[in-house]
Amino acid sequence: MVIRNVELETVCGVTSTLPENTLPEFAFAGKSNVGKSSLINALMNRKALARTSSQPGKTQTINFYNINGDLYYVDLPGYGYAKVPQSEKVKWGRMIENYLHKSQMLKCVFLLVDIRHEPSANDKTMYDWVVYNGFRPVIIATKLDKIKRSQIQKQVKLIRTGLGMEKQDILIPFSAETKQGREDIWNLIDKMAAGEDLLTAEEEIQAEKAAEWAAKKAAKEAQQNL
């Protein structure tokens, strides 16, 4: 995906009316301080358009970023921050639920979890909630650069088991530092924005990767036989 133009178009608070957009929407949810703003900035190819902070619970609105005039990234409020009053948590929960119920253009929910840890009770609740609302969330396992390569498969299995993911559900490890995983997320968004469903898009991406790997292997073997 080539990012030409990004605009923070709409900001919705608890009393705001959701916009009636006509472009595909891709929502991002995650526990406070899981790296959601860093992911969105990486996907937008911007350093600080989505506000990052060391203070959890910073995102208290639903923010709609218009990407190239083609689609929206939708930044949902973070959850699970203990110092936020329960009354505020309830308001944010209702706001997110209202969005999931009412958006006519929402194509996919990306749910972020920290790859270093087993999913929390809040992560599991959010996962189940998204599924209950009719979506199969794509899991983004953030902070990939914080673990060793040898630990990745173990942590991926831990997350899949902890959330109760189905075999066909998609999990993408991601690092805001190295940008590993960004192309995979972009490819999914591109295909779904073009009208493909989630599983078909993932199957095509995997087929493209397999074909690319086979072509590289064949080229290497041909070179060795010269």
Entry pTM: 0.87
162 pLDDT exceeds 50?
yes
23 or 208: which leads in pLDDT = 23
Q: pLDDT by residue (tens digit) across 128-149? A: 989 988 899 999 999 999 999 9
Q: pLDDT by residue (tens digit) across 84-133? A: 667 666 777 788 888 998 899 999 999 999 999 999 998 999 999 899 88
| Cα–Cα distances in angstroms (integers) from residue 23 to residues 51, 100, 182, in the given order | 23, 16, 21
Token pair of 156, please?
């991926």
| Sheet strands side by side (includes 25-30) | 6-12, 62-67, 71-75, 25-30, 106-114, 138-142, 171-173
pLDDT value of residue 201: 77
Q: pLDDT by residue (tens digit) across 210-219? A: 777 667 666 6
How buried is 155 (Cβ within 10 angstroms: 0-12 exposed, 13-18 middle, 19+ buried)?
Answer: buried
